[in-house]
Structure 1
């Protein structure tokens, strides 16, 4: 019996110390795929992804860089997407932030090598220019209950800080119960000073992250459009859900518009991952939500997004956990036990 699934590709920050060796551990049969990626890196004078993945030691300073993290995450995620059990039918693909580029390849709108070229180019440009930074802050409590008033108050605070001279601050990603904010140092520091510390770790700065999905990235978007040709983009083979929650349908996609969104709006405007997940649930009603590796950090944002729309009657963390214990709805391939449930 076929199991339907929405496939979700992760973004930056998901390849950490526990993930070192991910390609070698899980994808020894994907040598041909990785050889193509290694050749593209070598041609650009960059260290090969298999070498980076096979290193003996992990360094945050190195592996959080855009030109290192992005290709590694792409390789791990796409290889996972190609490793699903034969009884799983992927009915739609989406991703978070950089995960959109991976989703394009997983859905067939970019070839594996062209997708790698997009990710490697954009990750390298982000690192070279490193404009601004990012932080994460929650607007929900431990029960995951949606709190629109709290969210609105925080976003009003963001707008007030952004209006100050010399301060740049904006919403970068709607991420379940979290707000990812991005801006310049003055804007980020002002927000950190204005809000209470939550769980002894938020607001939390993200190492080597630029001000993704804000107007500050306009120079990166412009350079990306110069380097990456619209001819790379083709019709997706399965529906794609973007960072606005919009669906790009097979056979009905304007590939020029897809290129334009990917290297335009997607780079310089806020990314609504929450809406992407909620629209995936409501439009496709899958049996499973499968988050590819590396890492497992995206799972809670997916779960919170589903809770906030009341998916299958789940209205809080406990309801989600009860549903998950009864029959797993959300599978993180970065978790070995869960991975076994969806791989061949």
Structure 2
């Protein structure tokens, strides 16, 4: 078995995620407590108790998902004693920051502070109602890009997430995204729907966010990752701190090449993907990218023990 660790992005959050791990494992409790201390507010209370409408605000969602995902990772590696040596790590959008924490390139504290800032800046970058995103199902990527060019020649609307074959998310100014949705239906999209999001992620409207994040990068302690990270922006591994920072900078306003990232890892003989964190979205996308890939998703003790058993039985290379 040649495997990769993957970490979910925004949208996977749910009230109560990680609470059972917090109650059971010292490793998880330590993660949540360190995140609270780093942010100087009770993120853990918000995660465990809600309210949901506050947890879904981008500024809180991003550090919440990173914290819960790292708690699952630490329970697996510390409490359950699994020695993980993945071929690659990768994460979807926000999840790329989680991957960097898991790989030792960033501390947990710097990671949660960065994504809290990232979420806050994204929330504030565009006035409410001016930006939007939409999911287009059933069109090839080149058709989606042509739709965007046709309705938004100055890139007021762009492809933002290439998630899997036939699933592309677009992002940009609301009026142009709405026009693109209608044009996509004309071009034969099986489904084209506006998404309930608070900002137009991975579009040119996020360029000011990238500039401010660049300054924040300079205040963090960076290390070489102990495993290659497959970057969203290129679907290729990055190894150096300089390349990691460039990838994160461009990722802010560039499309997430998730499908290509999976295909790259599969081309390197990765056949198993461990999704650590809330939800099962990435597992579903991975299976649609290439047939025959195995996936495991874990955010509770039972699922983590299933993954641990794979290694205890000697099935991991």
> Structure 2 vs 1, CA of residues 340 and 54 (structure 1 numbering), >3 Å: closer, same or farther?
same
> Structure 2 vs 1, CA of residues 207 and 201 (structure 1 numbering), >3 Å: closer, same or farther?
farther
Deviations 1:151-193 (A, max 9, x none): 32232111111117xx711010110131011011111111222
Contact 2:114 / 2:216 at 8 angstroms: preserved in 1? no
Give structure 1 regions of 4+ aligned residues with deviation exceeding 6 angstroms.
none
Tell me what 1:174 maps to. 162
2:226 partner SS: coil
Deviations 1:14-49 (A, max 9, x none): 01xxx321121123322222111101222xxxx422
Q: Does 1:120 align with 2:113?
A: no
Tell me what 1:62 maps to. 54
Tell me what 2:92 maps to. 96
Pick from 244, 269, 284 the counterpart of residue 254 of structure 2: 269
Q: How is 1:138-217 mapped onto 2 (pairs within 5 angstroms)?
A: 138-139=137-138, 150-163=140-153, 168-177=156-165, 178-196=167-185, 202-217=191-206
Aligned-residue CA RMSD (Å): 2.6
Q: Does 1:39 align with 2:15?
A: no
Deviations 1:80-132 (A, max 9, x none): 22233526532210011111111111111111111112111101111122462
1:103 partner SS: helix
Q: CA deviation at 1:289?
A: 0.5
**Structure 1 CA distance, aligned partners of 2:297 and 2:197?**
25
Q: Does 1:288 align with 2:272?
A: yes
Deviations 1:264-309 (A, max 9, x none): 21112212011111111212x235201112111222111112x2xx
Contact 1:8 / 1:291 at 8 angstroms: preserved in 2? yes
Pick from 246, 250, 258 the counterpart of residue 244 of structure 2: 258
Tell me what 2:107 maps to. 111
**Structure 1 CA distance, aligned partners of 2:208 and 2:87?**
35
Contact 1:88 / 1:342 at 8 angstroms: preserved in 2? no
The count of residues paired between Structure 1 and Structure 2 equals: 296
> Structure 2 vs 1, CA of residues 297 and 58 (structure 1 numbering), >3 Å: closer, same or farther?
farther
Pick from 7, 10, 15 the counterpart of residue 8 of structure 2: 10
Contact 2:70 / 2:98 at 8 angstroms: preserved in 1? yes
Tell me what 1:23 maps to. 18
> Structure 2 vs 1, CA of residues 230 and 259 (structure 1 numbering), >3 Å: closer, same or farther?
farther
Q: How is 1:304-343 mapped onto 2 (pairs within 5 angstroms)?
A: 304-305=288-289, 307=290, 314=291, 320=292, 329-334=294-299, 338-343=303-308
**Structure 2 CA distance, aligned partners of 1:176 and 1:247?**
19
Unmatched runs of 5 consecutive residues or more in structure 2: 310-317
**Structure 1 CA distance, aligned partners of 2:302 and 2:133?**
32
Contact 1:295 / 1:335 at 8 angstroms: preserved in 2? no
**Structure 2 CA distance, aligned partners of 1:186 and 1:335?**
41
**Structure 1 CA distance, aligned partners of 2:126 and 2:29?**
32
